[in-house]
């Protein structure tokens, strides 16, 4: 059974810092890995998705890397801003028991606060 | 209008009551999912459906049932609610034609069982 761990569970930093959020998974036979943002009381917004054949994806100040062999992904946030305050969730997709389908396993998330 | 709509957004109920959470989508996706999220925990899959005639149990299906009334509608029922079902519930959809299987989430339903 796939297990996904996110470290740290919570992070509080001053504005402007560069951040690294970590996601590790136990089964390296993944299809893809996705990073989400969740604002309090809201649904999940997709940030970046990395296919198993890729090493990294970038979107603006965000960069996600994937090292499948070591079972790790990192989300790098450059020049953090108070608006980045949210919970960041990592989801790893493997093959579902029913076959031919990909159901994600979620980590518990990293709660980020960026203070002015 | 949101592509994935969950109703109600908030619900308070009593132990033993039967309740239904509804999800509808306008994305034309065939796959739909129900998750629950507890404080400090990730999302856990309750049930999923890959088309109208396909229903599958997820990681934590005990105490729940679902109904896929149409491609656009997927309801989650708690037959006899208990306090440990207090959680934030999310519906999600994905398109079987999308090789990445990206999911799109509703805004969530916050359920409290007293």
Q: What is the pLDDT of residues B39-59, one digit of tens each?
A: 877 899 999 999 999 999 998
Q: In this predicted model, what pLDDT tens digit does every residue of A36-91 receive, in sequence order?
A: 999 987 889 989 999 889 999 999 999 999 999 999 999 999 999 999 999 999 99
- Higher-scoring residue by pLDDT: A98, B98: B98
Residue-level pLDDT at B28? 94
Compare CB distances from B41 to A31, A104, A108 and report the shortest one's residue.
Answer: A108
Asked if the Cβ–Cβ distance from B108 to A41 is below 8 Å, we say yes
B73 has a pLDDT exceeding 90: yes
Residue A8's closest chain B neighbor by CA? B40
Matching residue, tokens 């305050």: A85
Q: What is the largest CA-CA distance in chain A?
A: 48
For residue B2, pLDDT beyond 70: no
For position B1, what pLDDT does the model report? 54
Chain B contact set for A98 (CB, 8 A): 50, 56
Contact state of A106 with B102 under an 8 Å Cβ cutoff:
no
pLDDT tens digits for range B3-23: 999 999 999 999 999 999 999
Q: Please judge whether B101 and A46 are an interchain contact, meaning their C-beta atoms are less than 8 angstroms apart.
A: no
Q: Give the integer Cα–Cα distance in Å for A29 and A108.
A: 20
Give the best residue of B38, B100, B107 to mutate against chain A (max A CB count within 10 A): B100
pLDDT score recorded for residue A96: 56
pLDDT of residue A99: 46
User: In terms of pLDDT, which residue wins out, A40 or A11?
Assistant: A11
Q: How many angstroms separate the CA of residue A78 from the nearest CA in chain B?
A: 25
Using an 8 Å Cβ cutoff, are A88 and B37 in contact?
Answer: no
Handedness of CA B60, B62, B63, B67 (dihedral sign): positive
Rounded CA gap, B76 and B68, in Å? 9
- The reported pLDDT for the residue numbered A100 is 47
**Residue in B with minimal Cα distance to A9:** B40
Instruction: Please give the span between the terminal C-alpha atoms of chain B, in angstroms, as a whole number.
Output: 32
Is B40 in contact with A49 (Cβ distance < 8 A)? Answer: no
Element (H, E) at B45: strand B43-51
What's the whole-number mean pLDDT along residues B59-72?
94
Report how far apart, in Å, the C-alpha atoms of B20 and of each of A101, B11, B44, B102 are. Answer: 27, 10, 18, 26
Lowest-pLDDT choice from A17-21, A96-100, B84-88: A96-100
Average pLDDT of chain B?
Answer: 93
Q: How far is CA A31 from CA A91, B8, B28, B57, B60, in A?
A: 11, 34, 24, 21, 23
């Amino acid at each position: 059974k796939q297990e996904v761990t996110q470290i740290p569970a919570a992070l509080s930093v001053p504005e402007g810092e560069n951040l690294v959020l970590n996601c590790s998974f136990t089964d390296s036979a993944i299809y893809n890995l996705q990073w989400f943002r969740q604002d309090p009381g809201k649904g999940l917004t997709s940030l970046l998705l990395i296919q198993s054949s890729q090493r990294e994806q970038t979107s603006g100040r965000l960069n996600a890397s994937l090292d499948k062999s070591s079972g790790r992904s990192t989300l790098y946030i450059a020049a953090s801003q108070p608006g980045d305050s949210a919970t960041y969730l990592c989801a790893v997709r493997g093959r579902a028991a029913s076959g031919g389908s990909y159901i994600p396993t979620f980590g518990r998330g990293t709660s980020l606060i960026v203070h002015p | 209008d949101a592509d994935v709509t969950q109703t109600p957004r908030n619900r308070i109920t009593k132990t033993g009551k039967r309740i239904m959470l509804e999800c509808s989508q306008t994305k034309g996706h065939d796959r739909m999912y129900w998750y629950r999220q507890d404080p400090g925990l990730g999302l856990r899959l309750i049930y999923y459906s890959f088309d109208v005639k396909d229903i599958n149990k997820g990681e934590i299906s005990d105490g729940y049932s679902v109904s896929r009334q149409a491609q656009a509608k997927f309801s989650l029922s708690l037959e006899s609610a208990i306090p440990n079902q207090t959680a934030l519930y999310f519906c999600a959809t994905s398109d079987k034609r999308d090789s990445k299987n990206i999911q799109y989430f509703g805004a969530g339903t916050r359920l409290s069982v007293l």
